[in-house]
Amino acid sequence: MELDFERCYRAVSSRDQRFDGWFYTAVRTTGIYCRPSCPAVTPKARNVEFHPSAAAAQRAGFRACRRCRPDAAPGSPEWDVRADVVGRAMRLIGDGVVDREGVPGLASRLGYTERHLHRMLTAELGAGPLALARAQRAQTARILVETTDLGLAEIAFAAGFGSVRQFNDTILEVYARPPGQLRERRPKATAEAGTISLRLAFRAPLHAPSLLGFLAARALPGVEECSGTAYRRGLNLPHGSATVTLRPGDRWVSAALRLADVRDLAPAVARCRRLFDLDADPIAVDGTLGADPALSALVTAEPGVRVPRSVDGFEMAVRAVVGQQVSVASARTTLTRMLEHGTPGELTPGDPTPEDFGDRGAGDLAGFPSAETVARMPEAAFRMPAARRATIRALAEAVADGKVDLEPGADRAESVARLMEIPGIGAWTAGYVAMRAIGDPDVFLPTDVAVQRGAELMGLPGKPKALEQHAERWRPWRSYALIRLWRGYPQAAPAASEKRHSETPDR
């Protein structure tokens, strides 16, 4: 990736937070790399160089600034926009695939040789997959050192390092301090025992009421809870279960994580960031949407509206199918009944057991059941039309068999095509899944009734074809326009009004 020196240096001189995560500033005279918004004295231009990733700066021999914590900057919004191999690889590395499956596993998922993948990532980011994963491991280790009482050897393996020596060498190289000294400087613990507390950075502004309101209207008992200031849910992670509480603030989102296995810290953080769309560039999004006179007043009144995404692609796909042509409240009721099935009297041999859903004791939250579990649910769990029930079973089987990929690094076009091969899933459902599960920022659903009525209230054409033509000016941020149109119609009764779309049921 080529970085324009003058533009980057202007961003550093003005301490522009919008560029955090886009690039990193390395200062030759100090051997330190920073985020663009670092509050330290601006270095002289002749002493700096710019890198497209923290891994590239580390590879060039620079250590992370202890003042601005560049390794904790928001991720580049470019990876959300781009659907190419590099963008997919970055999402998978963030989800911890290299730590769990190695570079061969990452390359296999993407359909490229290890050598070619290394070449592409190095050309774009200045570092290959191992170096990128190593930078992430270092950040994960620092969080564990500073926020938990785990032994340093435990932290080394929990963060994904192959040995304690590798852990010690990496921390010393990246932070210029051995792990023990990082622990000496940690802040006094304020969280309850067993909880990892951290701050998730984002590019301001972030319109928290729209995020929390959207999630609250769809919250499933036993899986998630949402108040006016916080969102809490259960997670299914590679090594076990977890619960997370997210509280949006003015500068960051506070996250409190309780993990069954601390090796899941990095994927948990990645999924929380994805859920709240924290790597988005709201200035770019609002600039494009606000240029349309029909949306400008709404963008001005509510800057920083994000797309609520998901922590589980299969969960979101099931929600989309259940939500076909029904209100949000009705869909939530149906899904809640699905999750309540499986009492001992109803189970037959081979049916899911309560353990398949995690511990649902009093006050506990568990992740949404897996595709394998849903595929084995008894008929009594699906209180819905037979055709929709068959669609959910077919979807669960396709995801369980690997025929449909809804993971962060999925090929968006291929996943949509595979979804639409399933009877009962059409353009609306596949588009909704692409937007919320796979993270496509440029989805538009012109047949959605609430979208049409929201458009009419804003003086836009309500007919699908005309509305779709008008929406071309919102590219590549049409998913964000959808959220704004949904918010615009009518706010007095959102649950009753959001009939999903005006098409006949998807076939």
Nearest CA-CA partner of 415 in 393, 440, 444: 440
Q: What pairing do the DSSP bridges indicate for beta strands 32-34 and 63-64? A: parallel
Range of weakest confidence among 44-53, 173-182, 459-468: 173-182
User: CA dist 176 to 63, 156, 161, 463, Å?
Assistant: 7, 17, 18, 61
Segment holding 389, helix H or strand E: helix 386-400
Instruction: Give the SS3 label for residue 24.
Output: strand
* Domains of the chain by start residue, with CATH: 5-72 (3.40.10.10), 78-184 (1.10.10.60), 196-273 (3.30.310.20), 313-497 (1.10.340.30)
Which of the residues 34, 38, 226, 272 is marked catalytic?
Answer: 34
Contact between residue 278 and residue 253 where contact means Cβ atoms under 8 Å apart: yes
Nearest CA-CA partner of 318 in 223, 228, 441, 195: 223
Q: How many other CB atoms are there within 10 angstroms of residue 234's CB atom?
A: 24
pLDDT reported for residue 506:
39
Instruction: Give the SS3 label for residue 241.
Output: strand
pLDDT reported for residue 342:
38
- The first and second tokens of residue 482, run together, are 């959808």
> What is the torsional sign of CA 192, 237, 361, 200?
positive
Distance CA 137, CA 91 (A): 15
Q: pLDDT tens digits for 375-411? A: 999 888 898 999 999 999 999 999 999 999 998 889 9
Q: Please provide the DSSP assignment of 63-117 as one string.
A: EE-TTT-GGGSPPPTHHHH--SHHHHHHHHHHTTHHHHHHHHHHHHHHTS-HHHH
Q: Tell me how long the chain is.
A: 507
Nearest CA-CA partner of 197 in 157, 244, 150: 244
- Sheet strand arrangement including 196-201: 196-201, 252-259, 240-248, 231-237, 224-226
Range of weakest confidence among 66-70, 190-194, 331-335, 410-414: 190-194
Q: How many CA atoms lie within 13 A of 20 on its CB side?
A: 26
Contact between residue 439 and residue 463 where contact means Cβ atoms under 8 Å apart: no
Measured distance between the N- and C-terminal CA atoms of the chain, rounded to whole angstroms: 43
- The first and second tokens of residue 393, run together, are 């079973």
Apex CA 315: angle with CA 309 and CA 319, to 5°?
Answer: 85
Segment holding 235, helix H or strand E: strand 231-237
Q: pLDDT tens digits for 413-460? A: 999 999 999 999 999 999 999 999 999 999 999 999 999 999 999 999
Q: Is the pLDDT of residue 164 over 60?
A: yes
For this structure, is 226 an active site residue? no
The type of residue at 373 is T
pLDDT reported for residue 496:
32
Range of weakest confidence among 51-65, 187-201, 450-464: 187-201
Instruction: Give the SS3 label for residue 214.
Output: helix
Which of the residues 71, 405, 442, 448 is marked catalytic?
Answer: 448
Q: pLDDT tens digits for 118-148? A: 999 999 899 999 999 999 999 999 888 887 8
Choice between 132 and 504, residue whose per-residue pLDDT is larger: 132
Output b/e per residue, 20-32; b: 16+ Cβ within 10 A: bbbbbbbbeeeeb
The pTM score is 0.85
For this structure, is 34 an active site residue? yes
Q: pLDDT tens digits for 318-366? A: 999 999 888 888 999 999 989 887 333 333 334 344 344 344 433 479 9
Q: How many CA atoms lie within 13 A of 230 on its CB side?
A: 10
Give the chain's mean pLDDT: 87
Q: Is the pLDDT of residue 248 over 70?
A: yes
Residue 410 CA from chain centroid, whole number: 13
Helical packing angle, 328-339 and 313-322, nearest 10° = 120
Q: Is the pLDDT of residue 192 over 80?
A: no
- The first and second tokens of residue 239, run together, are 């090594």
Distance CA 426, CA 324 (A): 10
pLDDT reported for residue 148:
82
Nearest CA-CA partner of 327 in 497, 503, 212, 112: 497
